[in-house]
Amino acid sequence: MLSSLTSAVSGLEDFQQQMNVIGNNIANVDTTGFKAGVVDFADAFSNTLRAPGGGSSTTSGSSSVQVGTGVAITGIVNNWNQGALSTTGISSNLAIAGNGFFMVRDTTSNAQYATRAGAFSVDQNGYLVTDTGERVQGFSDSALSTLGDVKIDTTGMPATSDPNARVSSFSVNGQGKVTVNLSDGTSFVRGQVMLQNFQDPGALINQGNNLYSNMAEAGPLVAIEPPGMFGLGNIQSGALELSNVDLSNEMAGLITAQRAFEANSKIVTTSDEVLQNLVNMKR
């Protein structure tokens, strides 16, 4: 069989996957904290028709003769560059300006996940949670000594505060400290949102809902730490990180992938015509 046929088939398959990745990127152009996927290609194994020959003092060497067998996808990786930060004015919305991930916990399975999407809210029990109910992790006490679910309530309020005071508002500063303002005019630090970073973010596995797992294999650089330390970014309250998808680049890449797919289709058609001619020679 013509090697051009198998090479073209590999091109059809891999450029189809590239169009799938680009389509997913475009679909998530407005997804909070989304990181665009990038397809890495490499040439496939080559058939050696002639091995290279070594030269001597009286003769010249000969080069090898090889024919490639197509293309292969070596990886589909995420572009971890930071997306633009958009101000929302909602105090529970948090964005990371710099490196790091929020850590959240699934209360059903107790599994922890990393995320860059900070579209958090406060649930009916006072916990800071994601849109799908995972609880944000950090220091859960006013002494900033116990790691757990970050909660917004009156626990740990000053002794000088009115015992009947209620939470009127809260804020999160650049270091993740959660300050609760009470109805009697007093305030106190209730907890702290913490961050995590990884040696190889490419090893993280996307679980959907802006959540990533496989954190141990990604190589945590440090234990969960306060923002602004150990190379971690600062937190910007009242803002969200937008998708880092560049729509113009994606559209240009889509056109290139489409044309490459069409060119490989033409090679398949031409190879078929050559084989048909060979079959007709029998007649």
Q: What is the pLDDT of residues 27-54, one digit of tens each?
A: 999 999 999 999 999 988 877 777 877 6
User: Are 235 and 130 in a shared domain?
Assistant: yes
Please give the backbone phi and psi of residue 9, each rounded to the nearest 5 degrees, phi first: -65, -40
What does the buried/exposed string (b/e) look like for 214-251 if buried means 16 or more CB atoms within 10 Å of the residue's CB?
A: ebeebeebeebbbbbeeebbbbbbebbbbbbbeeeebe
- Same domain (yes/no): 228, 99: yes
Across 108-116, average pLDDT: 96
Report pLDDT digits (tens) over 42-94: 988 877 777 877 666 676 677 878 888 889 999 999 999 999 999 999 999 99
Provide the Cα torsion 235, 240, 246, 250; round to 10°.
120
Same domain, 139 and 44: no
What is the spatial distance between Cα 164 and Cα 187, in angstroms, rounded to a whole number?
Answer: 14
User: Residue 16 carries which side chain, given as an amino acid letter?
Assistant: Q
Confidence at residue 1, expressed as pLDDT on a 0 to 100 scale:
57
58 inside domain: no
Q: Is there a single domain that holds both residue 111 and residue 175?
A: yes
Same domain for 229 and 211?
yes
- pLDDT reported for residue 283: 63
Query: For residues 34 and 210, is the Cβ–Cβ distance under 8 A?
Result: yes
pLDDT digits (tens, 9 = 90+) for 160-190: 999 999 999 999 999 999 999 999 999 999 9
Residue 103 falls inside a structural domain:
yes
Secondary structure in 3-state letters for the chain:
CCHHHHHHHHHHHHHHHHHHHHHHHHHCCCCCCCCCEEEEEEECCEEEEECCECCCCCCCCECCEEEECCEEEEEEEECCCCCCEEECCCCCEEEEECCCEEEEECCCCCCEEEECCCECEECCCCEEECCCCCEEEEECCCCCCCEEECECCCCCCCCCCCCCCCEEEEEECCCCEEEEEECCCCEEEEEEECEECECCHHHCEEEECCEEECHHHHCECCCCECCCCCCCCEEEECEEECCCCCHHHHHHHHHHHHHHHHHHHHHHHHHHHHHHHHHHCCC
Residue 55 lies in a domain: no
Q: What's the structural domain count of the chain?
A: 2
Among candidate residues 48, 21, 36, the one with its CA nearest the CA of residue 81: 36
Residue 220 lies in a domain: yes
Query: Are 163 and 76 part of one and the same domain?
Result: no
Identify the sign of the CA torsion 7, 12, 16, 18: positive
Residue 279 has pLDDT above 90, yes or no: no
Contact 171, 91 (CB under 8 A): yes
Q: Clarify whether residues 21 and 141 are in a common domain.
A: no
* Domain ranges, residue 178: 85-241
92 and 221 share one domain: yes
- This prediction has a pTM of 0.87
Among 135, 142, 114, smallest CA distance to 224 is for: 114
Give domain status of residue 60, yes or no: no
Q: What is the pLDDT of residue 67?
A: 83
57 within domain boundaries: no
- Claim to verify: residue 166 and residue 272 sit in the same structural domain: no
Is residue 145, in this structure, part of any structural domain at all? yes
Note whether 108 and 225 are same-domain residues: yes
Place of tokens 């959660």: 178
User: Is the residue at 206 inside a domain?
Assistant: yes
pLDDT digits (tens, 9 = 90+) for 197-256: 999 999 999 999 999 999 999 999 878 999 999 999 999 999 999 999 999 999 999 999
How far is 198 from 40, CA to CA, in rounded Å? Answer: 22
Residues 104 and 16 in one domain: no
Contact 244, 81 (CB under 8 A): yes
Structure confidence at residue 57 (pLDDT): 65
Residues 128 and 231 in one domain: yes
CA angle 242, 245, 247 (to 5 degrees): 120
